[in-house]
A and B are shown apart, each in its own frame.
Chain A
Amino acid sequence: MYDFAYQKPASVADAVKLLAGDPEAKAVAGGQTFLPVLKQRLNKPSLVVDLAGLGLSGIKQSANALSIGAMTTHATVARSAEVKKAIPGLAQLASWIGDNQVRHRGTIGGSLANNDPSACYPAAVLALGATIKTNKRAIKADDFFQGMFTTALEPDEIITEVEFPLPVEKSAYEKFRQPASRYAMVGVFVAKGPAGVRVAVTGAGQNGVFRVADMEAALAKSFAPDAIAAIKVSPEGLNSDIHGSAAYRAHLITVMAKRAVAAAG
């Protein structure tokens, strides 16, 4: 990696000030994507602003929402009794991210802000109709994801927490792993809750996470694997690489969606 300055501010306001004051500054949450990127010299920040001191970690449940602090690690979400009870699919998803080391460093806020097209969390956030809260505003999941590595976040905007509306009646995630990296080649989150019945797909789309309207409509009528077994997804706009063609990914979306519906019970 290249040399850079490092700051670990103690408040969101200070962090925002540091980021706003330097166009070459970058924020680091858990660093599980950012550090490898730095090591490969693919990014050359002048300043790295560590968000670990902002007190943004923790899980809170109210009558109609489950809030997860932006700096909450995947491991914390995966083993949280509240998450497991309220949204079991979300705990399952977190438990499948990366490996044990990654899960103890990587955070939900970092994953969403990065919006890697093969990250897992965007599928849950979109399928559950979550709201992303920042130092400035609240952004609906439908408005947040804007294409590969692109979000609605402004340069001096920091995610503070993610709010999932309750009650969630059904939730499950199924992931087909890219064989080498084990990232989601096709990840499908299905949910039935306050946002309705939703099917969100990560890993497959060239522009990141997306919803499958045909499947949502079919599942709204009958929440059962057979309801979507015959629904084919178009390969248009899907990724194609040495691990899988767009046609294969399109096929896997239906298979993973079926399995997620079955797992959601």
Chain B
Amino acid sequence: MAFEGIGAAVKRREDGRFLAGRGHYVDDMNRPGQVYAYIRRSDRPHARIRNIDTSAAAAAPGVIAVYTGADMAADGIGGLPCGWQIHSKDGSPMAEPPHPVLAIDKVRHVGDPIAVVIAETRMAAKDAAELLVIDFEDLPGVADIRAAIAAGAPLVHDEVAGNICYDWHIGDRDAVEAAFARAKHVVKLDLTNNRLIPNAMEPRAALGECDIAGHYTLSTTSQNPHVIRLLMGAFVLHIPEHKLRVIAPDVGGGFGSKIYHYAEEAIVTWSAGKLKRPVKWTAERSESFMSDAHGRDHVSHAEMALDEDGHFLALRVSTLANMGAYLSTFAPSVPTYLYATLLAGVYKTPAIYAEVKAVFTNTVPVDAYRGAGRPEAAFLLERLVDTIANDTGIDRIALRRANFIPADAYPYQTPVALQYDSGNHEMTLAEALKAADYAGFPARRAEAARRGKLRGIGISTYLEACGIAPSHVAGALGARAGLYEVANIRVHPTGSVTVFTGSHSHGQGHETTMAQLVADQLGVALDQVEIVHGDTGEIPFGMGTYGSRSLAVGGSAMVKAMDKIIAKGKRIAAHLMEAAVEDIEFKDGAFRVAGTDKSKALAEISLAAYVPHNYPIEELEPGLEETAFYDPKNFTYPGGCHVCEVEIDPETGVTKVVNFAAVDDVGRVINPMIVEGQVQGGVAQGIGQALLESAAYDANGQLLSGSFMDYTMPRADNLPNITVGTEITLCTHNPLGSKGCGEVGAIGSPPAVINAVVDALKEYGVRHIDMPATAERIWSIIAANRPKMAAE
């Protein structure tokens, strides 16, 4: 048998059913007596609802019920809760305006749900929804963050002055001011982090059920079913947890957008209880564009103070972050503890001060999207570093090396709260430069020039933070949830193993990676291990999958549970082999009496545990099943270096990414093939953000890029071959040494791409270009600078 343990590039076990169309998604579920919900949404950015006449819709063929926000309020249904509270500079809590499940009195963004029609068929519900007569009074709206905080801007929530959710800061302002006062150079940069629409392949869906005894089941496209059960049960519908089961079956991609508790989940569960019939809702793609939480949308100003040798003395940043019309579940944490705390990056900048204003606008709520705050931090820093190189004339690589946190300085305390445990930025930089043949670039540039093309190369040396933790620190910073993970490991009588994990796989390949981990540690064959996830009815309370946490946190919980299994197994083995427990060793799936040839396989021990005829029953319970909850001591800190090479057609402005090399430090790797796939996918999304994707709104808040006709998703022909390498240092505080690989691609790549584009355009005097660097944007720069060049 080929090696299938830790480090083996095992093919993904789940792909067979996905590729054969045999996955089991929420919309594949159909129940006897099932009815369909269709949600009428606002087509306007901001309006008062004077009246909703439901009579014609209610009388339409096949319609069972029509509900509005007033109906939910009459049942005592609360609004959607926010899971993170930020306090402003002055100590006051953030503005937390109500977020009704169905709009009450006002709609605040295109896509805001107004009413639900429930009918015997999807078509009947949709037809009837058109018969709802809604009397709107249109109000002026605002979509742009800067416009929203200007004097006289329309108020998204009447009670939130200036549309400011919070005005937060971090770092030592005095130390930063002092450093700027003595700086030799100050380099400034204004930059925008463009708004993105996640577009998971599977649109969101939810199926609510309620049996005659009042037990509810919600099947939903979620990354964290226990979190949904807690939030929806406790804060919205008031259903106790023992009567609410939440199932997240196969889920076709999330990228963060399926972390949150959404209105539709509450709507189908609540209405299933009222009607005592299963109620299903499935988003149409156009609904996804206007109701899935969006990502990013920052506007920032950054300044670096430097000494005469280019050493960073202090960094000062001010950022405006768009929250959209309401606070999505974890939105407030993204531009604060997942962004500003990362502003040290890989550099030993001694003083940092950042202030962040979160702003309400008439747009879809914004929340964590692959990377969540860290891409924004990495983009700001790595663009700023290249701009410093540009302005001072210092080589961009020498500048980075002069400011790197040296490998022997770990653990390293940053001036913005985080303490990094491990890393080696020189190592990943050197390997990435080699992988990209950086030294050979001038020749490639010259060759491209002969073909009339502008070629550029860019690098980013980034660091990020995964597995947000520990719970008590997150709690002190405003989290209203724990951040541990759970694993339950059940060794069956014949020695096969079922693993129940609170992590959730929606594309990450957990059924393979986690099985490899368990098979390796328990010394059993891979096909003897099954991973179960995504069902609160089967699994102890877990926190789900986001922030690249599944292996570092969920995998660590498995190691802890396996430690307990092995400890108990040793006691059983000691009894069976009449040896002292201290003399039992566990290795390669067998319990041995040290120094003898006596041994018992795991399957023999498990059989004894479940058939306890010869068993230390007085001191040990039967069975071989253990649960562990693991609360990490710290974040993990993946990092690395991405190198991007582009070629620009100066006639059209079209940029082609011709080479991309990523060398990442993700800690211990369980399955290198899955890591490579995760990094490639992340890089594809990063190239999408850098060159193509943009959620466009008009000034009032009308969504202009509401479909794939106008929202540019990256396609295969937009992407180069992506070379992925790993050069690791181990995480020092979790038992696996793993750091996380799910987001590194999306975090490290956008600045590498834009640095390459700016490099390609340097003869045009370009200092910065915002994302997405579309063909038109680049052509405009070239066109505007051509006369200047001719005059020189």
List the interface of chain A (C-beta within 8 A of B): 2-3, 40, 176, 179-181, 242-245, 248, 251-252, 255
Q: Which residues of B contact A181 (CB under 8 A)?
A: 708-710
Determine how close the nearest CB of chain B comes to the CB of A186; give it in whole angstroms: 10
- Contact of A248 (CB < 8 Å), options: B696, B704, B713, B779: B779
A244 nearest in chain B by CB position: B776
Q: Which residues of B contact A176 (CB under 8 A)?
A: 652
Determine how close the nearest CB of chain A comes to the CB of B263; give it in whole angstroms: 23
6 residue pairs, one from A and one from B, having the closest CB atoms: A180-B712, A181-B709, A179-B712, A248-B776, A242-B696, A255-B651
Residue B783 at the chain A interface, CB threshold 8 Å: yes
Most buried by A among B123, B127, B651, B692: B651
Q: Which residues of A contact B51 (CB under 8 A)?
A: none
Cα–Cα distance between A189 and B775 once the two chains are bound (Å): 22
A176 nearest in chain B by CB position: B652
B709 nearest in chain A by CB position: A181
Determine how close the nearest CB of chain A comes to the CB of B529; give it in whole angstroms: 40
Q: Which residues of B contact A248 (CB under 8 A)?
A: 776, 779-780
Determine how close the nearest CB of chain B comes to the CB of A193; give it in whole angstroms: 27
Cα–Cα distance between A125 and B237 once the two chains are bound (Å): 62
Q: Which residues of A contact B780 (CB under 8 A)?
A: 248
Residue B723 at the chain A interface, CB threshold 8 Å: no
Task: Let me know if B775 and A179 touch, CB within 8 A.
Answer: yes
Task: Let me know if A245 and B776 touch, CB within 8 A.
Answer: yes
Task: Let me know if A180 and B709 touch, CB within 8 A.
Answer: yes
Q: Which residues of B contact A245 (CB under 8 A)?
A: 776
Task: Let me know if A180 and B710 touch, CB within 8 A.
Answer: yes
Residue B419 at the chain A interface, CB threshold 8 Å: no
Most buried by B among A242, A243, A245: A242
Task: Let me know if A180 and B696 touch, CB within 8 A.
Answer: no
- Contact of B704 (CB < 8 Å), options: A2, A242, A244: A242
Cα–Cα distance between A245 and B783 once the two chains are bound (Å): 13
Task: Beyond A179-B712, A180-B705, A242-B696, list 17 extra A-B contacts (CB 8 Å).
Answer: A2-B127, A180-B708, A180-B711, A180-B712, A180-B713, A181-B709, A181-B710, A242-B694, A242-B704, A243-B710, A244-B776, A245-B776, A248-B779, A251-B779, A251-B783, A255-B651, A255-B652
Determine how close the nearest CB of chain A comes to the CB of B57; give it in whole angstroms: 16
B692 nearest in chain A by CB position: A179
Cα–Cα distance between A251 and B776 once the two chains are bound (Å): 10
Q: Which residues of A contact B704 (CB under 8 A)?
A: 242
A183 nearest in chain B by CB position: B709
Interface digits, B648-667 against A, CB 8 Å rule (1 contact, 0 not)?
A: 00011000000000000000
Residue B88 at the chain A interface, CB threshold 8 Å: no
Task: Let me know if B652 and A243 touch, CB within 8 A.
Answer: no
Q: Which residues of B contact A244 (CB under 8 A)?
A: 775-776
Q: Which residues of B contact A40 (CB under 8 A)?
A: 286
Interface digits, B542-565 against A, CB 8 Å rule (1 contact, 0 not)?
A: 000000000000000000000000
Cα–Cα distance between A255 and B775 once the two chains are bound (Å): 14
Cα–Cα distance between A149 and B776 once the two chains are bound (Å): 26
Q: Which residues of A contact B710 (CB under 8 A)?
A: 180-181, 242-243
Q: Which residues of A contact B286 (CB under 8 A)?
A: 40
**Binding site of A, secondary structure by majority: helix, strand, loop or mixed?**
loop
Q: Which residues of B contact A255 (CB under 8 A)?
A: 651-652
Residue B774 at the chain A interface, CB threshold 8 Å: yes
Cα–Cα distance between A3 and B692 once the two chains are bound (Å): 37
Q: Which residues of A contact B711 (CB under 8 A)?
A: 180
A245 nearest in chain B by CB position: B776
Cα–Cα distance between A158 and B709 once the two chains are bound (Å): 29
Q: List 14 A-B contacts (CB under 8 A).
A: A2-B127, A176-B652, A180-B709, A180-B713, A181-B709, A181-B710, A242-B694, A242-B705, A243-B710, A243-B776, A244-B775, A251-B779, A252-B652, A255-B652
Determine how close the nearest CB of chain A comes to the CB of B283; give it in whole angstroms: 14
- Contact of B774 (CB < 8 Å), options: A2, A179, A251, A252: A179
Q: Which residues of A contact B783 (CB under 8 A)?
A: 251
Q: Which residues of B contact A251 (CB under 8 A)?
A: 779, 783
Q: Which residues of A contact B694 (CB under 8 A)?
A: 242
Cα–Cα distance between A245 and B784 once the two chains are bound (Å): 15
Interface digits, B517-558 against A, CB 8 Å rule (1 contact, 0 not)?
A: 000000000000000000000000000000000000000000
Cα–Cα distance between A179 and B608 once the two chains are bound (Å): 64
Cα–Cα distance between A242 and B706 once the two chains are bound (Å): 12
Q: Which residues of A contact B776 (CB under 8 A)?
A: 243-245, 248
A181 nearest in chain B by CB position: B709
Cα–Cα distance between A243 and B286 once the two chains are bound (Å): 19
Cα–Cα distance between A176 and B704 once the two chains are bound (Å): 21
Cα–Cα distance between A181 and B709 once the two chains are bound (Å): 4
Determine how close the nearest CB of chain B comes to the CB of A12; give it in whole angstroms: 33
Interface residues of B in 112-126 (CB under 8 A from A): 123
Cα–Cα distance between A135 and B774 once the two chains are bound (Å): 46
B718 nearest in chain A by CB position: A179
Q: Which residues of B contact A243 (CB under 8 A)?
A: 710, 774, 776
Cα–Cα distance between A40 and B708 once the two chains are bound (Å): 13
Determine how close the nearest CB of chain B comes to the CB of A63; give it in whole angstroms: 40
Interface residues of B in 691-724 (CB under 8 A from A): 692, 694, 696, 704-705, 708-713
Cα–Cα distance between A8 and B529 once the two chains are bound (Å): 56
Determine how close the nearest CB of chain A comes to the CB of B555; give it in whole angstroms: 38
Determine how close the nearest CB of chain B comes to the CB of A111; give it in whole angstroms: 17
Cα–Cα distance between A245 and B779 once the two chains are bound (Å): 11
B777 nearest in chain A by CB position: A248
Determine how close the nearest CB of chain B comes to the CB of A216; give it in whole angstroms: 22
Determine how close the nearest CB of chain A comes to the CB of B698; give it in whole angstroms: 10
Determine how close the nearest CB of chain B comes to the CB of A253; give it in whole angstroms: 12
Most buried by B among A180, A243, A248: A180
Determine how close the nearest CB of chain B comes to the CB of A228; give it in whole angstroms: 13
B772 nearest in chain A by CB position: A179
Cα–Cα distance between A180 and B289 once the two chains are bound (Å): 14
Interface residues of B in 328-366 (CB under 8 A from A): none
Determine how close the nearest CB of chain A comes to the CB of B72; give it in whole angstroms: 27
Cα–Cα distance between A102 and B774 once the two chains are bound (Å): 26
Cα–Cα distance between A244 and B123 once the two chains are bound (Å): 37
Q: Which residues of A contact B713 (CB under 8 A)?
A: 180
Q: Which residues of A contact B779 (CB under 8 A)?
A: 248, 251
Q: Which residues of A contact B708 (CB under 8 A)?
A: 180-181
B693 nearest in chain A by CB position: A180
Interface digits, B490-524 against A, CB 8 Å rule (1 contact, 0 not)?
A: 00000000000000000000000000000000000
Determine how close the nearest CB of chain B comes to the CB of A257; give it in whole angstroms: 12
Q: Which residues of B contact A2 (CB under 8 A)?
A: 127
Interface residues of B in 368-416 (CB under 8 A from A): none
A186 nearest in chain B by CB position: B652
A182 nearest in chain B by CB position: B715
Determine how close the nearest CB of chain A comes to the CB of B782; give it in whole angstroms: 10
Determine how close the nearest CB of chain A comes to the CB of B344; give it in whole angstroms: 36
B708 nearest in chain A by CB position: A180
Determine how close the nearest CB of chain A comes to the CB of B629; give it in whole angstroms: 45
B715 nearest in chain A by CB position: A182
Cα–Cα distance between A224 and B775 once the two chains are bound (Å): 26
Most buried by B among A2, A179, A248, A252: A179
A3 nearest in chain B by CB position: B123
Cα–Cα distance between A126 and B780 once the two chains are bound (Å): 31
Cα–Cα distance between A176 and B775 once the two chains are bound (Å): 11
A39 nearest in chain B by CB position: B284
Interface residues of B in 774-792 (CB under 8 A from A): 774-776, 779-780, 783
Cα–Cα distance between A3 and B121 once the two chains are bound (Å): 13
Cα–Cα distance between A40 and B783 once the two chains are bound (Å): 39
